[in-house]
Chains A and B, each alone.
Chain A
Amino acid sequence: MNYLFKISLRNLFRQKRRNILLGIAISFGTMVLIMASAFSHGISDVLFNQIVVYVAGHVSVNFSENGNRFMQVFHDGPRVLEMIKKEVPEMRSVQESIGVMARAIGNAKSDNVVLIGVDLQSGDEKDMEDAEKNFKMIVGSFNDLGDSTIENPVLLAEQKAKYLKVKKGDILRVRYKLLNGQDQASRLTVVGIFKPANVFMSAPVFLEVNRLKKVLGYGSNDIATLFLSLNDPKKDAVKIADRLQGLMQPSLAGIYAEIAGKDTSVSVTVLGYKSDTTSRNILKSKITLSDSSIKITRESVFMSDSLAAVLKVKVGEQIPLTYKTKYDTVNGTGYLKVSALFKGNALIPSNVLLVNDQDFYKVYYSNWPSDFRKETGAFVPAEKSGVYPILTQQWNLLQRVKTTDDLTKQMREIGLKRIRGTSISIQSMYESASSVLNLEVALHMITFVAVMILFFIILIGVVNTLRMTIRERTREIGTIRAIGMQKKDVKMTFILETFFLSFFSAVIGTVGAFAAMKIMSMFKIEANDNPIGMLLSNGHLHFAPTAATVVGYILLIILIAVVTAYFPARKASNLSSAQALRHYE
């Protein structure tokens, strides 16, 4: 076997010029293949870890109150955060995401901006590294964003700062809508101006997320949309979204409250009813109103006649209620206006106050109540009870969708149906950022096709050269066969020769690919607002080669070259010595 190696290596050096040219072709092919693969991975890396993770999260938990997609708030925040941290070990970090449209006035210039919250506390080291990479500060410091001594510190991109004519230390006045829909104006202090790493960072004004929540009117237990960053988003995103969907199932909502009448106060269970027509019709069949002429409307609040008698409350009167809350030591309060009286029965006993969903959620969400089911005197309807389906849940968990189109349709329906309460939608990046991911697939496809075309052109050249080599050396084959070399050894000589040639060329090509990638990524590309800039990392081409793909491609090239050489080599080995020696060109 050893001599076959020697003959193969010697043959390589015999035809130096041809083999060098052939080697260059294979090296070039390897180089292109590795670079294209690394570029494609680089794009994926940028899209998944620098864009999708900030724009939509690998997995996101989205909230919208009363069908209003701009009211992205959930009032039982600590519970959800705790549950996610416990149940999703595959997660790298979970961050709150808020984006609000605002009108900003700088120095005699105004513009529309988006106020975006930056979470400085929840991220891990990688998040901090990414943040520093994304915020290439021209003036000021990224860390000033968290400076509590400055009035609402903000960072903005150089283009935006230039347009608004503001510099570090200047005040930016903004007008925006509070969570409750009121117009609000605030003063923001520019603490830094940065060069945006991608097109998505040019327009927004960045504030620390807790500061932004405060100016928007979020309470201490309120959270906004949650973005989960995963270690392996491609593998885990859908699986985790499905898992969270199972964990976020709501239970029946209720308040065990104290309501005050004229002379006395009584503990009651306050339950909400769904105010859609079907639910109201069901409710109508389940309760008996004291005054049958009264209609059950979207605004009704029902109190039992016996309770009304005890409290000396009449229809049309407003009653105050207080209740224990989940998070505060101070009791929660609310007001409800009684619109009709009913006769208590087994389904809805007399110590129940039945409230339309809009008014119910107004009280329920104003200060999240403690679990009413744990109170001894509370009425907890059985799940099999006839009224259970029409009673309000803590929130409305939306079904998981499969595509972005389905998601858009679902959001539209929530708005149209004006679903009361908080709607929660759990999405993986495959639904929420499918357009970005489709871009990744398209770029992969284009790169793959271009590389394959180039690679096959090179391959045809290699095959042709090998055939020529064997043809030229037919007489030589005849000679070595005549002096006793076996058929399989002849075949192996040619295969080994091709193996060595392709191996050395592939290794050189790999080294060349890494050198070329290093050089290419050194050049800074000024993409500015060009969308293509989002494929760059800090203005540089981003290559992300992986050991597995590099080794894989080297093996693939060697395999293709060897397979290509096998057939001409077999043909050569099958020649009889006499026939081969007679060959003349």
Chain B
Amino acid sequence: MIRNIMVVITGFTLSAFAFPKIDSLLTYIDGTYSMVTDVKAKVELTQQKANQGTKKLEMTYYRRDTDKSFLIVMSAPESEKGNGYLRMADNFWMYRKNTRTFQHINRDESIGGSDAKGDDFEGRKLTEMYKPALDSVGNEKIYDDTLGLIPVYRFELAAKVNDVDYPKKIYWMRKDTMIILKEAAYSQSGALMQSAYYLKYTKIKGRQIAVKTLFVDEFEKGNKSVVEISGVSIDKLDDNIFTKAYLENLSK
């Protein structure tokens, strides 16, 4: 944490009246937002689709970054209760309670029939996926801006790997607290596809966790999702949790 803050401060100092380096901001975000410990949390996803009403999903989410494992256990709606998704290293399974079977699925498979996908729950670092976008003269695209009345840095990122959903992203970051307030994702053709608004944060052991986020589908107006996280615990999780047997036992 201290190292991350130092990186940003160094970025500021070196560029006195200029903007911080985007790379240093990305390193800071990765350091502040990512979990080095295990995580357990309750996740509530409310999805609203144009002309289709609202769908609500509730799940318990377990994550362990040391071996890239995570487990999602669905608790609502009733039709999804007991189903689960288990990721262990390169393997990703979907568990169906009714048939008591595990099925191999892709990372981009939908979770509980929602717009959320398996890879949304992975803890990939921003620095691994994106780099600063440059303007025509080679300067990083970072500017002063305000979001409402809040002074922010607005900076643009370009994908450095192909396996990301969006090749271009713009972030709005609070200048005072250095937390992200908004994120806009663009397609290769330059169309705005999705905006994310980080509405509420909580701080656990010095790390910022966005506990309420609003995702707005900018392509199909009227579609939006709210993700709310509660009961966050960073205590060490039992190794047995990230096993098929654990998921099976839950539905007994």
Contact = CB atoms under 8 A, between A and B. Distances in A.
Contact of A180 (B104, B162, B191, B220): B162
Contacts of A528: none
B167 interface: yes
A298 B165 CA distance: 24
B187 interface: yes
A184 B187 contact: yes
Contact of B193 (A68, A178, A183, A416): A183
Contacts of A178: 188
Contact of B188 (A110, A173, A184, A298): A184
A182 interface: yes
Interface in B2-58: 50
Given A175-B193, A182-B164, 5 more contacts: A181-B165, A182-B165, A182-B167, A185-B187, A185-B219
A110 B187 contact: no
Given A103-B220, A110-B50, A298-B90, A183 B165 contact: yes
Given A68-B106, A185-B193, A186-B189, A173 B162 contact: no
Contact of A416 (B104, B166, B219): B104
Nearest to A184: B187
A182 B166 contact: yes
A105 interface: yes
A175 B108 CA distance: 16
A415 B104 contact: yes
10 contacts: A110-B50, A178-B188, A181-B165, A182-B159, A183-B193, A185-B189, A185-B193, A186-B189, A415-B106, A416-B104
Contact of B162 (A68, A182, A185, A415): A182
A203 B185 CA distance: 29
A524 interface: no
Contacts of A103: 219-220
A568 B187 CA distance: 85
B163 interface: yes
A583 interface: no
A183 B220 contact: no
B106 A183 contact: no
Contacts, number: 47
Determine which residue in A68, A173, A181, A418 has the highest number of CB atoms from chain B within 10 A of its CB, and name it: A181
Nearest to A416: B104
A416 B103 CA distance: 9
Interface string A135-177: 0000000000000000000000000000000000000010100
Interface in A169-212: 173, 175, 178, 180-186
A463 to B, nearest CB: 60
Nearest to B193: A183
Given A298-B90, A416-B104, A110 B220 contact: yes
Contact of B108 (A173, A181, A186): A181
A186 B163 CA distance: 20
Interface in B116-165: 159, 162-165
Contacts of A298: 90
Contacts of A105: 219-220
A86 B165 CA distance: 41
Given A181-B163, A183-B166, A185-B191, A418 B90 contact: yes
Interface string B161-191: 0111111000000000000000001011101
